[in-house]
Structure 1
């Protein structure tokens, strides 16, 4: 019979036990469940609610159980509803009446949400570190390739030339925003619900600040109804994972395109590629495709919990059991995707000649030729039209802007002089774009310094989180 069976005359049948059980999902929180129980027992003893001897027996018994679960020798029972009941049942079987006193002043409602908050804090900090490490990989590659020029795109058409480093740093900034969102979700989880009990608090003189301190929470959840029913922090985590997955998917898409014969910008290492079962020549970017594909699952987990939460009355409802599987999956997935992308980027071969060759196609100097006329006093719209005619002339002749003669330029405007040819030099075009945030040499150097500061701040924050968890 279940630990809550006193009011019942019959047990759930095999199907309903299996349907209602969360143990296969939540048993990964065993460390957090045991930590919460030890803190609760310690506080109960200090408040005189249970004896010091009972608290010692409880904590010793829980330590033994934790060691067994870690080693894989703990006797999990398929009939146990969840990790809390599984551990408590074994504790009572081992230490007797003292174990039965552990649940004084608490409910599984505040217990499970305490476990979830502790677990998410640990997993989120791991994902934040994976995010940071991937940013370091991108930053390092950007430094190494900072003078490689590639075509920049809009609408997947050649637009203006940029440094490859500038392109890579764009993803570092995306990751930095992901890092902030993850940290926000960490802070949202960092609140202690223990003592809220089922929904209304308890008549026992609990010291909620004491369990808060013992468990390393930064605050107490101040409303017992909200404490047991709040899943905003889970949604925050799912949202952070979803946006991060979307960013990784964008980069994965570019890697997939860049590795095609049509682009030829990169070659992924054999470690991050697969072959074909029928076509011997194939080298497929399967792992980049998997990163792209897993975005759908991550976003689906967010939508799933949003729909689950949308009409739940206060306080606890069994629907809330569905909060963990999705967020566990999303955190596992985004951690693996970040790790995979870091390995993929750090091991790929970059074909600089192919990138730079494409930077000389598609009339990428057109904007600078228009700016040349503007600097001589022409309105930009007029300059835009004139250079559009020059591009059309190139298309008709099947040539590039650099193939046109000075006479061709002067036929469109008398403002063109010999020095217009300088405006057609792709490296000069890239170097000159030094407005803040631009791709030019000075702007890029400044951006590297800012990125360095951001990553240093991230490292310090991660170190602080590690100290707080330990």
Structure 2
């Protein structure tokens, strides 16, 4: 419960003859959600104060007192102390109010040369950069898990699918490595994001720049930015950073959702390929036999929410006039929500994979001979048959077998010969699942040499991403 305090104490009320209506307070105050920015707000104010020292606005002794005050606020916040008042409009004004109460009038100097516009943009930018680095680490940890499992289960085969129909034999490791390389692109997107959005907004003021001789480059270095924003209107107006960040997070969720969809299917009795650990499953309140793959279903569901967050941000920003309008305050919650959810998604996927049981005997037992149809066509081509003719020959065999309720490999040698297959006995003997995968050692293929090459590339990539 927030402390009671007269709303007339707002720091901008000098212009106004009355306080806000309660309905306006309910509409506009944002402390209930933007308190999430407290660490970045205090970090930003400490960096800003360093610039004020260089500008002669603060003495070094004053700056130390301000820094100590700000750090004490953060310590108390983390300790669970109640710091806020009903009059605190947002985290930025709340921190400044508490600071002033603790160190006196000196606390009022911290906002010199700064607007809430460039303050908020800086805090939010720091938040997204910090969270991007954390999410990036979670993705690398998932990649390491996937690579370890791929190596552990190397040599195990399964049916590969297109259109949810059995298509060709593949190594299970090949399937898992597809996740590895997909996630690696998610990491690279975050790297691009961090490289592109590395300019400090502080010093831009409300929209025209600070009137003080503010050492922006010094503050940028203190806060971990590579450069300063070149245009003050651009710095406080545009929200392409949050759009890009939420788009990156939505793509991560989308990647996880597609694998979660497969794992939901694999967990069904119709497939039986995967048994999730009880810790990542749930039961039914009515049917005692049920073990549901809720972890994967929730990952799948969260991806839609993440897309919704991006759509909300895109809709918010597309009509906002330059430089700043209050509706841009609504840019925070969708980002916070996406950050929280993607971090949980990545942790759950990693832990669920580490503890899952993959039922390879079931996978192998369900591999249909039809998986070898493409291989027979390839053998016919090697025997001199044009590919289109080979495709037609094999297609006719598969069709005849389906009408007879058989697999095409169960048709008689005479039926194969009549369809145009030469040296039938040799062809049938050659057609095995092991043969099929062994023929696909092309770079990126499912062949054993290719998969081992993927392991080597993956290990090198992880090493590079960790630098």
TM-score range normalised by the length of the shorter chain = over 0.9
Q: Which residues of 2 match residues 431-442 of structure 1 at below 5 A?
A: 431-442=438-449
Q: Distance in 2 between matches of 1:53 and 1:310?
A: 45
Q: Distance in 2 between matches of 1:348 and 1:52?
A: 57
Equivalent of 2:465, from 441, 446, 458? 458
Q: Report if aligned partners of 1:241, 1:330 keep a CA contact under 8 Å in 2.
A: yes
Q: Which residues of 2 match residues 74-223 of structure 1 at below 5 A?
A: 74-223=82-231
SS at match of 1:78: coil
Q: Which residues of 2 match residues 41-440 of structure 1 at below 5 A?
A: 41-359=49-367, 361=368, 363-413=370-420, 415-440=422-447
Q: Report if aligned partners of 2:402, 2:408 keep a CA contact under 8 Å in 1.
A: no
User: Given the superposition, is the C-alpha separation of residues 414 and 109 from structure 1 closer, same or farther in structure 2, using an over 3 Å criterion?
Assistant: closer
Q: Distance in 1 between matches of 2:109 and 2:392?
A: 84
Question: How far apart are residue 112 of structure 1 and its match?
Answer: 0.6
Question: How far apart are residue 413 of structure 1 and its match?
Answer: 1.5
Tell me the TM-score normalized by structure 2.
0.96
Question: How far apart are residue 264 of structure 1 and its match?
Answer: 0.5
Tell me the TM-score normalized by structure 1.
0.95
User: Given the superposition, is the C-alpha separation of residues 5 and 316 from structure 1 closer, same or farther in structure 2, using an over 3 Å criterion?
Assistant: same
Matched residue, 1:9? 17
Q: Report if aligned partners of 1:372, 1:423 keep a CA contact under 8 Å in 2.
A: no
Q: Report if aligned partners of 1:252, 1:292 keep a CA contact under 8 Å in 2.
A: yes
SS at match of 1:330: helix
Matched residue, 2:42? 34
User: Given the superposition, is the C-alpha separation of residues 351 and 94 from structure 1 closer, same or farther in structure 2, using an over 3 Å criterion?
Assistant: same
User: Given the superposition, is the C-alpha separation of residues 74 and 215 from structure 1 closer, same or farther in structure 2, using an over 3 Å criterion?
Assistant: farther
Question: How far apart are residue 17 of structure 1 and its match?
Answer: 1.3
Question: How far apart are residue 13 of structure 1 and its match?
Answer: 1.8
Equivalent of 2:31, from 9, 12, 23? 23
Q: Distance in 2 between matches of 1:94 and 1:400?
A: 82
SS at match of 1:365: helix
Question: How far apart are residue 50 of structure 1 and its match?
Answer: 2.8
| Per-residue deviation, residues 296-331 of structure 1 (Å, max 9, x unmatched) | 110000010100111111111111111111011101
Q: Distance in 1 between matches of 2:349 and 2:285?
A: 25
Question: How far apart are residue 187 of structure 1 and its match?
Answer: 2.7
Question: How far apart are residue 199 of structure 1 and its match?
Answer: 0.4
Q: Distance in 2 between matches of 1:19 and 1:399?
A: 68
Q: Distance in 2 between matches of 1:276 and 1:363?
A: 37
SS at match of 2:167: strand
Structure 1: which 5+ residue stretches go unaligned?
A: 461-470
RMSD across aligned positions (CA): 1.3
Q: Report if aligned partners of 1:117, 1:191 keep a CA contact under 8 Å in 2.
A: no
Q: Distance in 2 between matches of 1:18 and 1:226?
A: 30
Q: Distance in 2 between matches of 1:34 and 1:94?
A: 15
Q: Report if aligned partners of 2:65, 2:103 keep a CA contact under 8 Å in 1.
A: yes
| Larger mean Cα displacement after TM superposition, 420-429 or 154-163 | 420-429
| Per-residue deviation, residues 272-299 of structure 1 (Å, max 9, x unmatched) | 1111111110001111110000111100
Q: Distance in 2 between matches of 1:52 and 1:457?
A: 41
Q: Report if aligned partners of 1:160, 1:365 keep a CA contact under 8 Å in 2.
A: yes
Segments of 4+ in structure 1 off by > 4 A?
Answer: none
SS at match of 2:168: strand
SS at match of 1:204: coil
SS at match of 2:200: coil
Question: How far apart are residue 78 of structure 1 and its match?
Answer: 2.5
Q: Report if aligned partners of 2:250, 2:303 keep a CA contact under 8 Å in 1.
A: yes
Structure 2: which 5+ residue stretches go unaligned?
A: 1-7
Q: Distance in 1 between matches of 2:223 and 2:282?
A: 45
